[in-house]
Amino acid sequence: MNRVKNKQKNKLKYLSGIYVFWMIVFTVIPLLLIIYFSFTTTEGKFTFENIKNIGEFTPVFLSSIKLSAISTIICLLLGYPFAYIISKIKASKQMIFIIFIMLPMWINFLLRTYAWMTLLENNGIINKLLSLVGIGPVHMINTQGAVVLGMVYNFLPYMIIPIFNVITKIDKSCIEAAQDLGANHVRVMTRVIFPLSMPGIVSGITMVFVPAVSTFIISTMLGGGSNMMIGDLIELQFLGGSYDPNLGSALSLVMMVLILISMGIMNEFDTGEDVMAL
């Protein structure tokens, strides 16, 4: 009887058959194609040329990493206190705040970024407000600062949600125990709450850094032409003016390796918990 049941249970694993096939065709093979294109010429001959040519673009890589690292740090500094404050209010009200954090994501992000252009322009709304109090005009659009602002704006929710999820799950008795043992507010914060929220911080950092370092819209719209990022370079090779899928693939490959390395470093701090599901 038991064996029959186990057999029936085992049959259930075949339900994943379609998806396994799907993953091979639409996830694994495309990635192999990227590797293949990275190491071949347009005629299909093996070459290291594409990878070598990436050396020219080192400044673009460095500035992409710099801008997205700054944005990630600002997201963490802004997002952590916010997540902490929200986790302290009544559970019935928390959901409303979280909904209002997610709601802007329902407006097309191109439009939200475009609205920032309106705000930041030289004769835009912020400069008009500033001129009322006698400051300005401050040049904001088409600067690195504007790109960072755009990234922080677009990716802040991805930092807040995982941190919030982790903080609300911290066992209250841990905090009480620390207080009973004589820890003051600051010590409870630095020694108990902050270390226990590490998994949320780690996944927040990856969820902000990865889309930030690979973006090509925010830098085009808010940075003007002068603040190019890796994403812009890749887009140019596939759909833009300088059509070269082989170089584009090599750029994508190097970017993926960079991200893998930084995620590997981040995972050193992680306890391996799943914190994204709401």
Partner 1 sequence: MKKFLSKVYVAFIFLFLYAPIAVLVVFSFNNSKSRSVWHGFTMKWYAELFRDEAIISAFGTTLLVSLLAAVIATLIGTMAAIGFKYMRKTPRTVLMQVNNIPMLNPEIVTGVSLMLLFVYVGRVLGGVELSFGTLLLAHITFNVPYVILNVMPKLKQMDSHLYEAALDLGCKPAQAFFKVVLHEILPGIVSGFIMAFTLSFDDFVISYFTSGAKSQTLSIIIYAMTRKRISPKINALSTIMFVVVFVLLLIVNLRKSKDNTTTKKKQKGMVKL
Interacting residues with partner 1 between 234 and 273 (CB under 8 A): 234-235, 238-239, 245, 248-249, 252, 255-256, 259, 263
- Asked if 225 interacts with partner 1 (CB under 8 A), we say no
Q: How far is the CB of 49 from partner 1 (least distance, A)?
A: 18
- Asked if 129 interacts with partner 1 (CB under 8 A), we say no
> How far is C-alpha 239 from the geometric centre of its chain's CA atoms?
23
What would the two tokens of residue 103 be? 């709601």
Residues 71-100 that bind partner 1 (CB under 8 A): 78, 81-82, 85-86, 88, 92, 95-97, 99-100
Backbone angles phi, psi at 40, to 5 degrees: -130, 160
Q: Where are the alpha helices (DSSP H) in 121-143?
A: 125-132
Q: How far is the CB of 48 from partner 1 (least distance, A)?
A: 20
Quick check: 129 and 137 in contact, CB under 8 A? no
- Asked if 213 interacts with partner 1 (CB under 8 A), we say yes
**Residue 84 DSSP one-character state:** H
Residue of 45, 56, 59, 123 that binds partner 1 (CB under 8 A):
123
| Residue type (1 letter), 29 | I
Task: Tell me: cis bond preceding 137? Omega within 30 of 0 counts.
Answer: yes
Cβ-based nearer residue to partner 1, 121 or 270: 121
Site string for partner 1, 148-177 (x = CB under 8 A): -----x--x---------------------
**Residue 191 DSSP one-character state:** I
Q: What's the Cα-to-Cα distance from 173 to each of 82, 116, 170, 188, 193, rounded to whole Å? A: 22, 44, 9, 12, 12
- Specify the stretch interacting with partner 1 by CB under 8 A; choose among 53-61, 133-141, 175-183, 212-220: 212-220
